[in-house]
Amino acid sequence: MKFIHAADVHLDSPLRGLERYEGAPVEEIRSATRRAFDNLIELAIEEEVSCVLLAGDLYDGDWKDYNTGLFFVDRMRRLESAGIRVFLVAGNHDAASQITRQLRLPENVTQFSDKRPETVVLEELGLAVHGQSFANREVREDLSDAYPPADPHLFNIGILHTCLDGKPGHEPYAPCTVDGLRSKGYQYWALGHIHNREVVSRDPWIIFPGNIQGRHARELGPKGCTLVTIDDGEVGAVEHRYLDVLRWARCVVDVTDSATVDEIYEQVRGALRQVLEESDGRPVAARLILQGSSRVHSTLRTDSDHWIQEYRALASGLGGAGMWLEKVVVETRPAVAMDELLARDDALGGLLQSIRALEIGAAETRGLAEEVAALRRKLPPELLFGTDGYDPGDPQYLTGVLEDVKELLMHRLLAKGGD
């Protein structure tokens, strides 16, 4: 017997704000969750699995319209035609309180109650599946505590959307412990909520498969599901299968050894090509980050828009499945010893010291925030919030702007005659 464990599909995730990224393949990214889900359906049919487990956050929130539900029902009917059962729990994004529209699901689909844990027994497979959905977005209690003990005569699977004992970057929903899960006696725990794949335990098997498709620049690398084979009532094989159709990547390039912008350009070309080669034939949305001490630091920073477009043009021309630079970040620093320049007892040293000493206090920050308040009100919500929200009135942002201005002034001075 085989089954597939997947989670955090976030079907039709809206991915707001993509339009503001120059050259972004908006439609390709927005359709990625559907195409990855289609890959899941194809894998289930190809592997002739007995069932598919979906451990929460099938949806990204309430449906914009019925098209999301119609898509899901259609794919479930394909599995029904292949004799494949589906078991799912709702998570924080698709809790009972979050989804206002409903469609009747095919007979092969079981969605577990949000009132209490339920158990479905498939006698012909020697299988018991236990699960409970989220009633509300914020579930703070340990749902697993009420799950029933294992049936000793069956292979027991628990489906649970949980933060487990807490994971950075994820809300602490339905917390539980490994020892608590083990105490139930199940052979496999199918978890969801954490978007990075993690094998928490092998005795018993406790797994987060991660999400099936990265949706933004923080969800990096390969994404997919877990294919499990059961032999004689025991886990025989656990395999991770990739389902993603577009891959997000960070490309960090240390330019310390490059003496000119042309050398850096060639170094970036090689690094981006390597990222593309490692994408398994998938298009890539990459964030390019330049780091290290550079003799051309000032050129990169003062003419950053030009170089951002140069690198974007470079990425788009690499061929293969295609690459788009989601962002270019210049984190280089000057190769010249700044401490020595600051210690100079001349006009240049004095100017550099004055610029370095500039500070902005809380009162000044509030004043600047008031000055840009009118601009902030004119910005669309998708620009203010989201993965890389831009808020011109944010004190931390304003402080960072001052640091950028100070650095720009210092390097302009150095470029004019630092020697």
CATH of residue 6's domain is: 3.60.21.10
pLDDT given for residue 390 in this prediction: 58
What span, in angstroms and rounded, lies between the C-alpha atoms of 150 and 342? 70
Q: Are residues 274 and 201 in the same domain?
A: no
Of residues 54, 59, 57, 46, the one with CA closest to residue 8: 57
pLDDT, mean over the chain = 86
pLDDT of residue 166: 75
The whole model's pTM is what?
0.81
Is 187 found in the same domain as 50? Answer: yes
Task: Check: CB of residue 238 under 8 Å from CB of residue 226.
Answer: yes
Same domain, 60 and 119: yes
- Nearest CA to 302 among 334, 254, 257, 266? 334
- Whether residues 156 and 18 share a domain: the answer is yes
The arithmetic mean of pLDDT across residues 228-247, rounded, is 96
Listed residues 318, 335, 352: the one ending a domain:
335
**Chain segment 332-348, per-residue pLDDT in tens:** 887 765 555 566 666 66
Same structural domain, 236 and 257 = no
Is the same domain home to 78 and 149?
Answer: yes
Residues facing 234 on adjacent strands = 231
pLDDT reported for residue 341: 58
C-alpha Rg value of the chain to the nearest Å: 26
Pairwise CA distance, residues 29 & 291, whole Å:
28
Least confident of 30-44, 265-279, 393-407: 393-407
The larger pLDDT score, comparing residue 407 to residue 168, is at: 168
Q: Is 70 in the same domain as 193?
A: yes
CA distance 361 to 185: 58
Give the least confident one: 11-25, 99-113, 174-188: 11-25
Please give the pLDDT value at position 120: 98
Query: What distances in angstroms separate CA 187 from CA 48, 202, 205, one per listed residue?
Result: 21, 9, 6
- pLDDT band, very low/low/confident/very high, at 418 (cuts 50, 70, 90): very low
Q: Is the pLDDT of residue 408 over 70?
A: no
Which whole number is the average pLDDT over 357-365?
A: 62
Higher model confidence: residue 394 or residue 81? 81
Residues 50 and 178 in one domain: yes
Question: How far is Cα 175 from Cα 265, in angstroms, rounded to an integer?
Answer: 47
Residue 321 banded pLDDT, cuts 50, 70, 90: confident
Q: Where is the domain boundary, 242, 258, 284? A: 242
Query: Mean of the pLDDT values across residues 68-83?
Result: 97
Q: Residue 250: what pLDDT?
A: 96
Averaged over 174-181, what is the pLDDT? 96
CA 272/CA 137 separation, integer angstroms? 40
Do 222 and 259 fall into the same domain? no
Task: Note the pLDDT tens digit of each residue in 264-274.
Answer: 999 999 999 99
Does the structure show a pLDDT above 70 at 387?
A: no
Q: Using the 3D structure, point to which of 219, 242, 265 is the last residue of a domain.
A: 242
Let me know whether 14 and 126 are in one domain. Answer: yes
Specify the higher pLDDT residue, 342 or 183.
183
Q: How does DSSP assign 111-169, residue by residue?
A: E--SSS-EEEEEGGGTEEEEE---SSS---S-GGGGSPPPPTTSEEEEEEE--TT--TT
- Model confidence at 40, pLDDT cuts 50, 70, 90, reads very high
What is the reported pLDDT for 17? 56
Indicate whether 75 pLDDT > 70: yes
How far from 24 is each of 30, 318, 324, 328, 383, CA to CA, in Å?
Answer: 11, 16, 7, 13, 15
Percent of the chain having pLDDT more than 70? Answer: 79
On the question of pLDDT at 382 being above 60, the answer is: no
Give the count of domains, the chain.
3
Judged against a pLDDT cut of 50, whether residue 419 lies above it is answered with: no
Considering the domain architecture, whether residues 118 and 69 belong to the same structural domain is answered as yes
> Encoding tokens for residue 76?
């479930």
Selected residue with higher pLDDT from 394 and 209: 209
Pick 418 or 17 by higher pLDDT. 17
Do both 79 and 190 map to the same domain?
yes
pLDDT (0 to 100) of residue 25: 80
Domain that holds residue 367: 337-419
Query: Which helix or strand (DSSP H or E) is residue 225 part of?
Result: strand 224-231
Who has greater pLDDT, 353 or 248?
248
